[in-house]
Amino acid sequence: MTDKLLEVKGLRIHFLTEQGEIPAVDEVDLEIKKGEILGIVGESGCGKSVTSLSIMKLVPSPPGKIVEGAILFKGEDLISASEKRLRQIRGKEIAMIFQEPMTSLNPVYTIGNQIRETVKLHHRYSKKKANQHAIDMLKKVGIPRPEQIIHEYPHQLSGGMRQRVMIAMAMSCDPELLIADEPTTALDVTIQAQILDLMRELNQSQGTAIMLITHDLGVVAELCDRVIVMYAGKVVEQGGVRAILKNPQHPYTKGLIQSIPHWNNQRERLYSIPGNVPTPGEWGNGCRFAPRCELAMNKCLKQMPELTEVELAHHSRCWLSS
Amino acid sequence: MVQTFFQVENLKKYFPIRGGILGREMGVVRAVDDVTFSIKKGETLGLVGESGCGKSTTGRALLRLIEPTAGRISFEGKEITSLSQEEMRKMRRDMQMVFQDPFASLNPRHTVERILEEPLIVHGIGDRKERKKRVRELLDVVGLTAYHAKRYPHQFSGGQRQRIVIARALALNPKLIIADEPVSALDVSIQAQVLNLLQDLQKEFQLTYLFIAHDLSVVKHISDRVGVMYLGRLIELAEKKILYQYPRHPYTQALLSSVPFPDPDYKKERIILQGDVPSPANVPQGCAFHTRCSLVMERCKTQRPELKESGPGHFVACHLYDKI
């Protein structure tokens, strides 16, 4: 199929620690179509960020190590790609924005300087042309007085403005895929609404596909077309946003949705998943959610279920649905 | 009149900005600016707002962990703003605090037992044996076991640490607990466990909570009444059902409309605010929100609206609701 932009197959990432080699991502498959917004949801330590970093080979190695799998971007394998080729892709065809805009901008360079760097590298624009491009990009992401802002430093901007600058920088070479790792987590709700609006608009006007990593199911409902739910390094459920949020199949997804306080049906008590997320290294052979699952059977503790289709384009990794 | 359990009147906290080689005062940050509210016994008052709105400063100023610049705070009819440090310390037996970051608020070099025993030692309660017994009780109350007592904080997960922090706050049988973002550092599934625990404890020990958070859904879940802060000012205060259903202040309306719902079918009119929150060092004249308000009038720019009752138990600080 030609409309597949990114395909990840059987990805396995391990980390070398003092306790030995510990798996962080375990046989993850995913794909993103052109112009699609895919959400990856999960709690801390589930491997969602490591998965997203691995796509552009940004997992620090060592200690990280891609043990197995393929990452195909428009059919090209990125795992075996040379560093030179990766540099051509990074920023130009795939761009990334991170959670904390303060640490991802360089504090000693002006905003303009940092946006120009990307376009000068990839398009060989002249300084003047690159400058104009930077101003246009800042205008596009809704930054007031861009002509002055390009001469300012990151610390002179607020959190929301910095995240806009990050987005402007990421979008400056018109990438086909934007990977956004918790882009609004550090922002206040009113600013979050502005940024989500901006991302949706860019997706619609430029056709940029977005891979959105988040823990917030509200943000997912706002923005995503499809969702992947991860738990302890595995994909446990995937499907369309409506299917996942309205008709979740995996007990973990169900629990996650029920533990969010909801405005409209006020319950006295929240549902809560007992226990804690297992740390990598204490994963057993069976289903990794089994120790916390109310519906766990004997089989669940011994054998890992496969990801099976429960309805069209909706998969769940649970013995109950297979 | 019935005596109010906890009353805050015209609370102010200004931080000086010093600069220049002589360290002269260049201006002030009005972190908390004229905040008035009360909490009834056994209720949970939620305080929401975005970063820099002064909600945490308010929480700390109430326990005088930072000295308020002006204002009166009274607890069970007793004025606590004029107490000496020593008297205030005794007062804090009844008023405890739970902080956001369970990693930073536990001493990494002490065992859990030592951490929980410390408030008892400080306030001279019981002998060694009784204190040990109390520690076991406390662990039990928050859902941990005696087996955890000899461990160190780093051996616990975030949710378990927050339980330890809560146990420590409960050690002295307080009447009021000020919880500053107690669940925001936790994952969703763990967050629900801690919220349930807080509610159970409230029932069991007749606790009163001031619950400070930025997450509007969490605040709605746990509170009886909710106050909204913007740039150091309390701009709206009402019973939670009323506030969430019929918000009056334009800022509250925008704030509530910005919260994303985990329901793809839920469509709502979203009010996207323009621009950022102004710096608290340079609060706009008049109504602090007038620079971002779509319904701004001429008098909003010059005259600061007072927090007034505009419906039964519904307080709002906005000129739109002034009766002329």
Residues 6+ apart with CB under 8 A from A86: A56, A57, A78
Q: What does the pLDDT average to over B293-315?
A: 91
| Residue A319 pLDDT | 92
| Cα(B113)–Cα(B105) distance, integer angstroms | 15
**pLDDT exceeds 70 at position B1:** no
pLDDT tens, residue by residue, B171-217: 999 999 999 999 888 888 888 889 999 999 999 999 999 999 998 99
Bigger pLDDT: B75 or A161?
B75
Separate counts of helices (H) and strands (E) for chain A: 12, 12
Residues forming a β-bridge with A68: A12
The distance of Cα A186 from the centroid of its chain, to the nearest Å, equals 15
Contact A49/B at CB under 8 A: no
**pLDDT exceeds 60 at position B147:** yes
- Among A151-160, A194-203, B154-163, B204-213, the range with the most confident prediction by mean pLDDT is B204-213
Host domain of residue B14: 6-94+205-321
Residue B303 lies in a domain: yes
Residues 269-298 of B with CB under 8 A from A: 270, 272-273, 275-277
| Cα(B217)–Cα(A222) distance, integer angstroms | 16
User: Distance (Å) from the C-alpha of residue A177 to the closest C-alpha of chain B?
Assistant: 23
Residue B14 lies in a domain: yes
pLDDT tens, residue by residue, A96-131: 998 877 788 899 999 999 999 888 888 888 888 899
Strands A226-231 and A209-214, by their bridges, are unpaired
Residues 277-316 of A with CB under 8 A from B: 277
Name the residue facing B255 among A190, A222, A245 (closest C-beta): A190
**pLDDT exceeds 90 at position B114:** yes
User: Distance (Å) from the C-alpha of residue B12 to the closest C-alpha of chain A?
Assistant: 24
The number of C-beta contacts closer than 8 angstroms across A and B is 120
Q: What does the pLDDT average to over A162-188?
A: 88
Residues 204-223 of A with CB under 8 A from B: 215-222
Residue B55 lies in a domain: yes
Q: For chain B, give the percent of residues with pLDDT over 90.
A: 59
Range scoring the smallest mean pLDDT among A187-201, A254-268, A295-309? A254-268
Q: Is the dihedral of CA B164, B168, B169, B173 positive or negative?
A: positive
| B216 to A189: CB separation less than 8 angstroms, yes or no | yes
Residues 156-215 of A with CB under 8 A from B: 158-161, 188-194, 196-197, 215
Burial of B69 (0-12, 13-18, 19+ CB in 10 A): middle
Question: Within a 13 Å sphere around the CA of B176, how many CA atoms are in the beta-carbon half?
Answer: 22
The mean pLDDT value of chain B amounts to 89
Residues 155-194 of B with CB under 8 A from A: 157, 159-160, 187-193
| Cα(B178)–Cα(A252) distance, integer angstroms | 32
Question: Domain total for chain B?
Answer: 1
Contact B148/A at CB under 8 A: no
Residue B126 lies in a domain: no
Residue B209 lies in a domain: yes
The mean pLDDT value of chain A amounts to 88
Confidence at A2, pLDDT banded by 50, 70, 90: low
Confidence at B324, pLDDT banded by 50, 70, 90: low
Residue B252 lies in a domain: yes
Contact A269/B at CB under 8 A: yes
| Nearest chain A residue (CA) to B215 | A189
Read off the tokens for B125.
């309660």
Residue B166 lies in a domain: no
Partners of B244 on chain A (C-beta within 8 Å) are: 263
Name the residue facing B217 among A190, A197, A261 (closest C-beta): A261
Name which of B44, B50, B187 to mutate to probe chain A: the one with the most chain A Cβ atoms within 10 A of its Cβ: B187
Task: Name the residue among B178, B213, B183, B195 with its Cα closest to residue B97.
Answer: B178
| Cα(A51)–Cα(A28) distance, integer angstroms | 8
Predicted complex: ipTM over 0.95: no
Residues 77-96 of A with CB under 8 A from B: none
**pLDDT exceeds 80 at position B269:** no
- Among A181-185, B208-212, B273-277, the range with the most confident prediction by mean pLDDT is B208-212
**pLDDT exceeds 90 at position A160:** no
A150 within 8 A of A137, measured Cβ to Cβ? no
Contact A257/B at CB under 8 A: yes
Residue B24 lies in a domain: yes
Structure-token match 């150091």, residue found: B232
| Residue B125 pLDDT | 87
pLDDT tens, residue by residue, A246-273: 999 999 999 999 888 876 666 678 888 8
| Residue A211 pLDDT | 95
Structure-token match 């919880």, residue found: B179
| Residue B120 pLDDT | 92
**pLDDT exceeds 60 at position A1:** no
Q: For chain A, give the percent of residues with pLDDT over 90.
A: 38
Model confidence, pTM: 0.86
**pLDDT exceeds 80 at position A180:** yes
Residues 6+ apart with CB under 8 A from B193: A272, A273, A274, B159
- Taking each helix axis from N to C end, the angle separating A111-123 and A159-171, rounded to the nearest 10 degrees, works out to 10
What CATH number corresponds to the domain at position B23? Answer: 3.40.50.300
CA distances from B85 to B8, B67, B82, B92, B125 (A): 19, 11, 9, 11, 20
Question: Within a 13 Å sphere around the CA of A135, how many CA atoms are in the beta-carbon half?
Answer: 11
| Residue A265 pLDDT | 61
